[in-house]
């Protein structure tokens, strides 16, 4: 064991598909775990979302780095025995079916725990394992709709909007990863494993815990918590600005040459600025429109204020800070005609092109070896 690979020798069977479960298992692999991804002959359905590149899409690359792929037909008795061979020696099992499906296949928690009492069994679902909606299929945008996220993210005409980044799936993966990490730590002093249930619904509302509390208390969707705050159109691009402390408000007014705003008693405290945010935002918006975003970015940065240009993904990837900090690793992957940009996992070792950790397997890439061996290394 080491800081670079604290989960070395941890054995994980990943039966999940999509984003949340696979990404959780991918994180375990990045910290040294041996992860076997079990998928059907046509592959995890994330391999078929959007534009495909051989056996891959960006979804399947991001969710499966560092794993081995084993194709099994879970209704075939021989393949079921192969899965049991790996479950018998596993530390962790991740499944992402709707409640009851794993039980019908013969791999429910009770059945697996009876054969491997120390195993930690993780179930990832849309709405949870119980309740009126437990059996409903649900992906990221469905939970953005259900938990109030879309209602608080509306167009000016009131049309609810989803956030394109899969924030619910990704946060579910992170919550599952932290729950697994805590369980593995506790298992050192426990005689048996346990079941962990993580749902996209729980993750989505935890992600919004502050905003849903604000809405409950004021009885409506809360405005910005401070002023000025938001994306302001400059002569060319947008600049996002957040001013929290009163001292920062003074710095902003000086940097933008707005003494009348600085000295106005209506804005003399954070609370007064909150109450009069419309006036403040209109005033600074007019001033921002007088110069390019780069000019304002330089001025506000020199004043020590929170601000940044609103970048596109290509602009972000080319930014000197991103390049110098090696935030992104460029990884060759099967099926792609060029290396793909993959963010390095915060806190983990950087991904190195050509290594197992940086490789996402094709469908069934390791099936022949794993079926003939039928045991962990």
Domain limits for position 300: 229-311
Does 75 map to a domain?
yes
**Range of 224-228, 275-279, 315-319 with top mean pLDDT:** 315-319
Is the Cβ–Cβ distance between 352 and 65 less than 8 Å? Answer: no
Q: What pLDDT is attached to residue 218?
A: 84
Q: Describe the strand order of the beta sheet including 120-125 as a list of residue ranges.
A: 68-71, 34-39, 11-14, 92-95, 120-125, 195-199
The stretch 264-292 carries a mean pLDDT of: 96
Do 67 and 123 belong together in one domain? Answer: yes
Number of domains into which the chain is organized: 2
Residue 1 has a pLDDT of 77
| Domain C-terminal end among 311, 340, 364 | 311
**pTM for the complete prediction?**
0.94
pLDDT in tens, 250-263: 999 999 999 999 99
Q: Is the pLDDT of residue 372 over 80?
A: yes
320: confidence class by pLDDT, cuts 50, 70, 90: very high
- List CB contacts of 312: < 8 A, sequence separation 6 or more: none
49 located within any domain? yes
Mean pLDDT of 87-92: 98
The whole-angstrom separation of Cα 70 and Cα 364 is 5
| Amino acid 155: pLDDT | 85
Predicted pLDDT at 247: 97
Whole-number percent of the chain with pLDDT over 90: 94
- Output the domain CATH number for residue 17: 3.40.50.10540
Q: Are 15 and 93 in contact (CB under 8 A)?
A: yes
pLDDT, residue 294, reads 97
Last residue in a domain, options 258, 289, 311: 311
CA-wise closest residue to 271 among 333, 225, 234, 222: 225
Residue closest to 24 by CA, chosen among 32, 34, 14, 11: 14
Q: Where do we find the tokens 């692999």? A: 29
Q: Which residues contact 127 (CB under 8 A, 6 or more apart)?
A: 133, 134, 136, 138, 199, 200, 201
Contact 124, 20 (CB under 8 A): yes
The Cα 57–Cα 188 span in angstroms is: 38
Cα 66 to chain centroid distance, Å, stands at: 17
| Same-domain pairing of 281 and 137 | no
Same domain, 179 and 35: yes
| Contact in structure between 329 and 358 (CB atoms under 8 Å) | yes
Q: Are strands 195-199 and 328-331 parallel, antiparallel or unpaired?
A: unpaired
* CATH code of residue 246: 3.30.1540.10
pLDDT in tens, 341-366: 999 999 999 999 999 999 999 999 99
The tens digit of pLDDT for each residue in 170-187 reads: 999 999 999 999 999 999
DSSP per residue over 133-184, as a string? TTTS---HHHHHHHTTTGGGSB-TT--B---SS-HHHHHHHHHHHHHHHHHH
The reply to whether 324 falls in a domain is no
Residue 322 lies in a domain: no
189 shares its domain with 242: no
| Nearest one of 357, 353, 321 to 340, comparing CA atoms | 353
List pLDDT tens digits, range 132-182: 999 999 999 999 999 999 998 888 788 999 999 999 999 999 999 999 999
CA distance 92 to 94: 7
pLDDT tens string 214-242: 889 988 776 778 899 999 999 999 999 99
The answer to whether 273 and 226 are in contact (CB under 8 A) is yes
Q: What is the mean pLDDT of residues 31-52?
A: 97
Tokens encoding 73: 């037909």
pLDDT recorded at residue 158: 86
Supply the pLDDT for residue 5: 94
Average the pLDDT over 1-27 and give the result.
96
Query: How high is the pLDDT of residue 90?
Result: 98
> Which regions of 96-146 does DSSP assign to beta strands (E)?
120-125
159 shares a domain with 50 = yes
Beta bridge partners of 330: 341
DSSP code at position 334 = T
Do 67 and 199 share a structural domain? Answer: yes
238 in the same domain as 205: no
How much is the pLDDT for 156?
A: 78
Residues 161 and 26 in one domain: yes
- Helix/strand/coil percent split, the chain, to 5: 45, 15, 40
- Indicate whether 345 belongs to any domain: no
Whether residue 110 is found in the same domain as residue 15: yes
Q: What are phi and psi of 37, to 5 degrees?
A: -90, 120
- Confirm whether 161 is domain-assigned: yes
- Region of residue 352 (left: phi > 0; alpha: psi -120 to 50; beta: else): beta
pLDDT of residue 175: 98
Q: How many CB atoms lie within 10 A of CB 76?
A: 10
Q: Is 22 a member of any domain?
A: yes
Q: Are residues 160 and 234 in the same domain?
A: no
Cα 319 to Cα 103, 183, 312, 314, 331, distances in angstroms: 49, 39, 11, 9, 18
318: left (phi over 0), alpha (psi -120 to 50) or beta: alpha
Q: Does residue 151 sit in the same domain as residue 184?
A: yes
Quote the pLDDT of residue 225.
81
3-state secondary structure of 28: helix
pLDDT of 31 over the 90 cut: yes
- Mean of per-residue pLDDT scores for the chain: 96
- Confirm whether 35 is domain-assigned: yes
Q: Let me know whether 146 and 261 are in one domain.
A: no
């Amino acid at each position: 064991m080491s800081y670079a690979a604290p989960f070395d020798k941890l054995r994980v069977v990943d039966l999940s598909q999509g984003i949340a479960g696979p990404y959780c298992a991918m994180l375990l692999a990045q910290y040294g775990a041996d992860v076997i991804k079990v998928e059907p002959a046509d592959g995890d359905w994330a391999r078929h979302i959007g534009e495909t590149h051989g056996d891959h899409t960006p979804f399947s690359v991001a969710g499966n780095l560092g794993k081995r792929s084993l194709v099994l037909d879970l209704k075939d008795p021989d393949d079921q025995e192969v899965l049991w061979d790996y479950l018998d020696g596993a530390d962790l099992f991740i499944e992402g079916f709707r409640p009851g499906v794993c039980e019908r296949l013969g791999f429910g928690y009770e059945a697996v725990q009876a054969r491997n009492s120390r195993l930690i069994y993780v179930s990832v679902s849309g709405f949870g394992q119980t309740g009126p909606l437990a059996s409903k299929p649900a992906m990221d945008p469905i939970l953005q709709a259900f938990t109030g996220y879309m209602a608080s993210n509306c167009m000016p005409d009131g049309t609810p909007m989803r956030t394109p980044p899969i924030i619910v799936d990704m946060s579910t993966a992170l919550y599952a990863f932290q729950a697994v990490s805590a369980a593995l730590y506790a298992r050192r002093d426990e005689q048996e494993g346990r079941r962990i249930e993580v749902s996209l619904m729980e993750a989505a509302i935890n992600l919004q815990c502050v905003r849903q509390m604000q809405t409950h208390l004021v009885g409506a969707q809360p405005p910005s918590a401070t002023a000025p705050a938001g994306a302001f159109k400059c002569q060319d691009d947008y600049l996002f600005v957040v001013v929290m402390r009163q001292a920062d408000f003074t710095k902003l007014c000086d940097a933008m040459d707005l003494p009348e705003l600085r000295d106005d008693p209506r804005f003399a405290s954070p609370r007064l600025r909150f109450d009069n945010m419309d006036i403040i935002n209109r005033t600074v918006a007019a001033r921002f429109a007088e110069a390019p975003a780069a000019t304002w970015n330089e001025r506000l940065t020199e004043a020590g204020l929170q601000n940044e240009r609103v970048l596109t993904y290509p602009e972000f990837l080319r930014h000197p800070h991103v390049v110098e900090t090696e935030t992104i690793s460029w990884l060759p992957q099967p099926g792609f005609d060029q290396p793909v940009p993959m963010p390095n996992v915060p806190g983990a070792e950087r991904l190195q092109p050509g290594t197992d950790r940086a490789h996402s397997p094709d469908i069934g890439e390791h099936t022949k070896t794993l079926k003939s061996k039928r045991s962990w290394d």
